[in-house]
Amino acid sequence: MRMTKLLGSTILLAATTVAFGAAAQTRVAPIEIYTTTQSYDPIRYESAYIIADAWRDLGLEVEVRPMEFSTLLDRFYTEQDFDATVLGWSGRTDRLDPQFFLGTLDSRQADPGANNPGGYANADYDALFDAQSGEFNIEARRDIVHEMQDLYKGDAPMAVLFHRDEVVGYNHTTFTNLNAMAGEGLYSEWVPMEAQPLGERATLRIGGPQEPDNLNPLASTSVWGWKWMRMYYDRLVRLSPDVEPVPWAAASVDAVDEVTIDVTLREGMNFHDGKPVTAEDVAFTFNYYMGSDYSYFNAYLAPLASVEVTGDLSVRFNLTEPSAPFATITLSQIPILPKHLWEGIENPEELTPEQIPTVGSGPFVYERYDRGEYMSLRANDAHFYKENIGVDGVEFVIYADAEGVFTGLQTGQIDMTAWRMEPGQIPLAEGNENITVVSVPDFGYFHITYNTRREPFDDRAARRALTMAMDRERMVNVLLDGRGEVGGSVVAPVNAYWHNPFVERFEYDMAAARAELEAAGYSWDSDGRLQR
Amino acid sequence: MSRRNYLIKRVVQALFSLWIIATILFFLFRMGLPDPTAALITEGLNAEQRALIRAQFGLEDPLWKQYMLFLTNALQGEFGTSFSYRAPVAEIVWERLGNTMILMVAAITLAYAIGVPLGAWLSWRRGSLADTLGIFVGLMFRSAPMFWTGMIAILIFGVSFALFPTSGMRTLPYDATGFFDKILTLDFLWHAILPVLVVALYYLGSPLLIMRNTMLEVYGEDFIEMARAKGLPERDILYKHAARNALLPVVTQLAVTIGLAAGGQVVVEVVFSWPGLGREILNAVRTSDFPLAQASFLIMAAFVITLNLLVDFLYSTLDPRVSFR
Amino acid sequence: MTLPPFLRAALAPLRLMMRDRLAVAGLCVLSLIIAMALFAPLLSPHDPRHINEVEDGSVLVQTPEGWVLGESLGAVALNDAAHFGADIGAQSLIVGREGTIWARESGHWARLDGGTVADLNAVDFSPEGTALIAGADGLILLRDGDKWTEIKAENADLRGAAWLSAGDALIVGDNEDIWRLDAETALITRINSPVGRGFSLRSVALDADGTALIVGERGLAIRFDPQSGSTALERLGSSRDLNHIHITTGGTALVTGERGTLLRRAAADAAWVTDPAPDTRALRAGYIDDTGTAIAVGRNGIIMEWDGAEWLLSPTESERHLRALLVVGEDRLALGSDRFVTRLAPPSREHWFGTDHLGRDLFSQNMHGSQIALLVGFLGAALVVLIGTNVGLVAGYFRGRTETILMRTVDIMYGIPFEPFALILVLLFQPSLMIVILAVSLLTWRTVARLIRSQVLTLRERPFVKAARVAGASDLRIMYLHIFPNVLPLVFLELAIIVGVSIIAEATLSFLGLGPPQSISWGGILHDARLSGAWRTAWWWNLPPGILIMTTVLSVFFISRSLEVVANPRLRARE
């Protein structure tokens, strides 16, 4: 193998010398790779340097520019002012449906601020995107989704670098039956409902370095706010640990036709202040969200035309167009708010923390939130799911950083981590006899996205060659210590149903990269610099 | 210039400085820092949705309008709502400032309580081995970066011997209603020991050396010679006569140190996960939380400027040689 | 020799320094550190940024205490092993990279020469004891007794080999190559794969019914029937890359693959089941027998053992990548290891200060770290003193409006906290050495300016200044020729102190991750240590940089202390 590569490059080199001087070619423009700072994410930071080294070997002038995270996002999404950027998408449960990740390559999302900053444009791909979105037959939809992955992959508009395992830990002497969930780790909505105490303390203590931006269901724009709020607000549907929709506050969800969905509520549900949960509350909530300035749920609510109350406990959702993800994603994300507490509030996004009605109907009841330190919930004894719940409350201890969380876990201050451990902590955790370490594969991904509007990334062959000149295997092995997997397509392998395992892989192969470039008319000048 | 006029002039100057700082920060943030809603892209928000949020933050208005609003509000002590916490900024800042000050004041007090008498004693034993050793140790802790001392302290006392907690201000969860309720507990003390010690050791050097050197100067003054001539015991001369007169530079240094303390020692807060103002301000800048960052910067600046002012007044009162300029 | 008064003034502090014991010690230490910075590349045994990796012929032996690392078999990785025979004459063959072949007989190792330097990937024994070895670039080796036969297939790497009967073997490899070997004639024939997409085939084993099962990347499984010579696709229930297959004569089977893939078949006619694995990293080889023993090995020293109900991780405390298993009765060996990162190694002869989480040499990092510390220290201090002295001079000399404006600026500078300000600078521009120096100097010149100004205030009333003014000297001349030499001792003192302050400030910024990217500094090393989470145990990582910062700054402070005497002559009288 080694020999062939060597041979290959020697031949190439000879060919290059011949090509030189045949036609006046200009050097390929220098490339800047944007990435996060080392403190924000050492993995992405080091990855960029690994990529840069290989690209330099290919004869390009490459510079890596680490940036503070918000600057990076601004440059990449808002200004689209970049050559190539190393970033990532987190794997949230609602992104298990392929809609979101496939949408990041849709050319209609290529405007500044939207999700396709690389500007990949492929009309066939866009057409297939629309086709899968309206396809209700799940197998037919899967075929389209597989085709889309095959289609974009050959064009290499970006490269999925790797999927990083979420490595979390819990104390197995205090609680049992903590089941990790892909995309959520241990801090899923199910763990507090399923965990069983082993010792005297029945309050599950979670620790993490992140905290909610706020606990206002009409202002929170962070996943950390919603991860907490979803425990005391019920939704019509919850996604099971296998990411199947389970009727929750809804007794039943029936599709009358492609654009009409009837939902019947469970009987006997009450808000934490004792008032019953009715169809009025559900209809109110959806209308309230649609009429508010709060945009976090807009994408989920987009297909919804109107909500009607059809009985004490039944509502009808009228959609503007068929939407495959509505019954799973939308109904599982929107909380049910008590109408009697919210209807009088005109500008809900301006509520101060004390003014927010924290009353829901969920399996836990809000108790307190001390910013930067601590949050707590107690179990709701009147909830329909009560019998299955083993804990008497949930507490969240907010630490300054991953260091603090780990110490908390080691010293028994907390029972589980809400966020992944740092690579250096994992062996220590594994060595601790009270701690169980769980590796949860992620379906989010880290990527390098090329700006297809700019040289040299406007050329398909160059993108393909540069993607081959990228030792992603090494990134996983060295940077992640093997805890992760080289990316195939934007739909992760762990998302087995939608993932197409037979897409082109672009394995690390410098000789192949050079061959690809040469076939496309590139050559190398006397300094070894790539030119065209 | 009369004393009163001088005072008024200095206060006006201080306020002017504050205004300059506020103005620079205001424009620096808005023109130099990234869009505060940039981070929301990763939550899946598109450009329109982000524009809505920017409007809520008041960032869609013309810059001069935002500035006027900011100034009028600031004059009334109103700093707006934090972008990320969606809570009044003043509340957050005061709480964080409290956390920082309790740590810093405790540490500085400890440092001066030890450093001043030790410095006086060293001056008395000048040239001895104890003197050299004292200087060496004082300078050594002054030379070691605080975050490193902190890490080593955690390593030894927190991890190896597991004597002290290594992060935060208290064991959670806890029940407390007010600020004083929070800090007047044994648990809090337990958490504070390591960080206070680390900061105190760093600060120890300056009162120690200043005291020692000033004492050496004072020894040459006439009134000491007089006391000696009267045959007073050396110990009395040292503590009653010399030390009292050597205190002024130490007190000045103390005021300056306390003034700068509001900024906290960011690294100590980071290493010990102390929820102080220094860490908050870093976060606020990182996430472009303009109201929070502005208020934190202004409070720190106000603190430093006020204490510097105080030092000036102190000087003008205690040392008649300084004229009112 | 007569020196100009300006130079003499500049030399005075040096003479004074030599009189102070601590200052002399400080000077010596500082010279050492400067030498360290100048000769860092020469002093460093490694490139400080290089990720150190080691390849090793590693053998892990199972003992009652667990899997223990045995003696290394050289510097190349071992890829596969096979065993033949029961008691006497029993022999194991182990093959590895670069033509490595080892024979193992009753615990004794012997190196064999197969006459090749190609990487060898697979080995298998025929029922008669003929060994078949497959390797890189289509290399096939046959060993019958002492006779080696080399056969060359096409240029793809061969990865798996298995005997189907006494003279009939199957070899598989990249590009979906499947070769059937007739051992009598040493001829090979190509078998067409039913897929034809050029996938890599990794391993092959003889099944209980006499057919062969081939596994490869993306969950590929191909059944070959030697009777009819036909191939057929099979589904094992995984789309991961499958690395190895082992089937017993009884039909129990185990397939191992990427991401902790474990596919097990309990009997010849049973269905394949996917077992949950306790670790999700790559598994490279498996072993199973009919009595219920099953072992799987993989990357990062992973060894899993089947306890009858579930797979359990066996502790190995080894970072080595394991590729093969050799089980001979109770004698169990796990073999590897391709290049592995020497992470978090404690100090050793190779790495004097140990290595960090990416296997980078810490001694070299510490040596290089001195460069940035001193650069920022001296450059920053020079800049600070330059600004501070001039501002102080001008403010103190001219007084009035000039003074007010300058001193209010100083006030404003006092009101800005250091770390957040540096962060803003980094956000406004890019993190770089310039920004660090700028941040350090912009916020420290204020002290110098104040000190110099107050000194100048008293000097300007002195007779010699008044005399100069009467003589008609210009303001500039008075400031820089008459007043400046008199504040020079103070300037030197401040310079020395600020060198120390700047070094600490640089370390602080680097520790907060605001330093220039990819630069090596002492604060940066501590930043890495804390970020990695490993600093609690890796004392060799966080001790040296701190001690180096401390000694450097301390030596500067000692020097500055001796200068204090110059700046404040009243002290001199009493020392």
C446: confidence class by pLDDT, cuts 50, 70, 90:
confident
For the cut 50, the answer to whether the pLDDT of residue A15 exceeds it is no
Interface of A with B in 235-274 (CB under 8 A): none
Give the per-residue pLDDT at A5: 46
d(CA A289, CA A292): 5
d(CA A529, CA A59): 4
Length of chain A: 532
Summarised one tens digit per residue, pLDDT across range A123-141 is 999 999 999 888 878 889 9
pLDDT (average), residues A442-451: 94
Closest partner residue to C513 among A37, A421, A479, by Cβ?
Answer: A37
Give the per-residue pLDDT at A4: 45
Closest partner residue to B40 among A111, A214, A221, by Cβ?
Answer: A221
Give the per-residue pLDDT at A10: 46
Summary mean pLDDT of chain A = 88
In Å, how far from its chain's centre is CA C464?
64
Closest partner residue to C239 among A425, A441, A501, by Cβ?
Answer: A501
d(CA A171, CA A433): 9
DSSP state of B158: I
For the cut 50, the answer to whether the pLDDT of residue C527 exceeds it is yes
Edge-to-edge strand order for the sheet containing C108-113?
A: C78-84, C91-96, C100-105, C108-113
| CB proximity C199 to B under 8 Å | no
For the cut 70, the answer to whether the pLDDT of residue A54 exceeds it is yes
For the cut 80, the answer to whether the pLDDT of residue B25 exceeds it is yes
With CA atoms as reference, the chain C residue closest to B145 would be C504
Give the per-residue pLDDT at C369: 93
C-chain CB neighbours of B21 within 8 Å are: 412, 415-416
A-chain CB neighbours of B60 within 8 Å are: none
**Cβ separation of A70 and B47 shorter than 8 Å?**
no
For the cut 50, the answer to whether the pLDDT of residue A6 exceeds it is no
For the cut 90, the answer to whether the pLDDT of residue A281 exceeds it is yes
| CB proximity B99 to A under 8 Å | no
A-chain CB neighbours of B275 within 8 Å are: 372-373, 400
d(CA C515, CA C436): 7
B324: confidence class by pLDDT, cuts 50, 70, 90:
very low
Residue C166 Cα, gap to closest chain A Cα (Å): 30
Give the per-residue pLDDT at C403: 87
Question: Which of A360-369, B105-114, C442-451, C498-507 is predicted with the least confidence, judged by mean pLDDT?
Answer: C442-451
Degrees, nearest 5: CA angle A331-A332-A334: 70
Question: Which of B302-306, C176-180, C376-380 is predicted with the least confidence, judged by mean pLDDT?
Answer: B302-306
Answer for the pair C151, C117: CB distance below 8 angstroms, yes or no.
Answer: no
CA atoms C228, C229, C230, C233: torsion sign: positive
Higher pLDDT, B300 or C526: C526
DSSP state of B242: I
B183: confidence class by pLDDT, cuts 50, 70, 90:
low
**Cβ separation of C533 and A406 shorter than 8 Å?**
yes
Residue with tokens 């397509």: A489
All structural domains of chain C, each given as residue ranges with its CATH number in brackets, are 53-341 (2.130.10.10), 371-574 (1.10.3720.10)
For the cut 70, the answer to whether the pLDDT of residue A20 exceeds it is no
**Cβ separation of A402 and C427 shorter than 8 Å?**
no
Question: Which of A221-235, B246-260, C379-393, C416-430 is predicted with the least confidence, judged by mean pLDDT?
Answer: B246-260
Question: What tokens were used for C526?
Answer: 């501590």
The CATH class for the domain spanning B96-318 reads mainly alpha
Closest partner residue to A400 among B38, B41, B279, by Cβ?
Answer: B279
Give the per-residue pLDDT at C263: 95
Report the percent of chain B where pLDDT is more than 90.
16
**Cβ separation of C424 and B28 shorter than 8 Å?**
yes
Summarised one tens digit per residue, pLDDT across range B227-286 is 777 777 777 777 777 777 777 778 878 887 887 777 668 889 888 888 888 888 888 988
Summarised one tens digit per residue, pLDDT across range C16-45 is 777 777 888 899 999 999 999 999 999 889
B-chain CB neighbours of C561 within 8 Å are: 135, 139
d(CA A4, CA C155): 8
| CB proximity C531 to B under 8 Å | no
**Cβ separation of B216 and C571 shorter than 8 Å?**
yes
For the cut 80, the answer to whether the pLDDT of residue B172 exceeds it is no
For the cut 80, the answer to whether the pLDDT of residue B170 exceeds it is no
Give the per-residue pLDDT at B322: 44
Question: Which of A250-254, A311-315, C87-91, C276-280 is predicted with the least confidence, judged by mean pLDDT?
Answer: C87-91
Residue B173 Cα, gap to closest chain A Cα (Å): 7
Answer for the pair C525, C519: CB distance below 8 angstroms, yes or no.
Answer: no
A-chain CB neighbours of C341 within 8 Å are: 477-478
B-chain CB neighbours of A374 within 8 Å are: 172-174
Residue A188: cis peptide before it, omega within 30 degrees of 0? no
Q: Which of C80, C63, C155, C60 is nearest to C125 (CA)?
A: C80
Give the per-residue pLDDT at B308: 81
DSSP state of C237: S
**Cβ separation of C534 and A496 shorter than 8 Å?**
no
Summary mean pLDDT of chain B = 83
For the cut 60, the answer to whether the pLDDT of residue B323 exceeds it is no
Give the per-residue pLDDT at A16: 47
B318: confidence class by pLDDT, cuts 50, 70, 90:
low
Question: What tokens were used for A94?
Answer: 């609602």
Answer for the pair C390, C384: CB distance below 8 angstroms, yes or no.
Answer: no
Residue ranges of domains in chain B? 3-75, 96-318
CB pairs under 8 A between A and C: 95
d(CA C141, CA C133): 5
Q: DSSP strand E in A347-388: where?
A: 364-370, 374-379
Q: Where are the alpha helices (DSSP H) in A210-293?
A: 223-229, 279-291
Closest partner residue to C357 among A40, A423, A502, by Cβ?
Answer: A423
SS3 of A525, please? coil
With CA atoms as reference, the chain C residue closest to A64 would be C517
Higher pLDDT, C538 or C363: C363
d(CA B70, CA B62): 12
Report the percent of chain C where pLDDT is more than 90.
50
Answer for the pair C571, C565: CB distance below 8 angstroms, yes or no.
Answer: yes
Degrees, nearest 5: CA angle C370-C371-C375: 115
pLDDT (average), residues A64-91: 91
Pairing, β A245-247 against β A435-440: unpaired
SS3 of B261, please? helix
B178: confidence class by pLDDT, cuts 50, 70, 90:
low
Summarised one tens digit per residue, pLDDT across range C343-367 is 888 999 989 999 998 899 999 999 9
Beta-carbon contacts of residue A64 (< 8 Å; ≥ 6 apart): A32, A33, A35, A48, A49, A52, C517, C518
With CA atoms as reference, the chain C residue closest to A427 would be C534
The complex scores an ipTM of 0.89
Question: What tokens were used for A115?
Answer: 């999700």
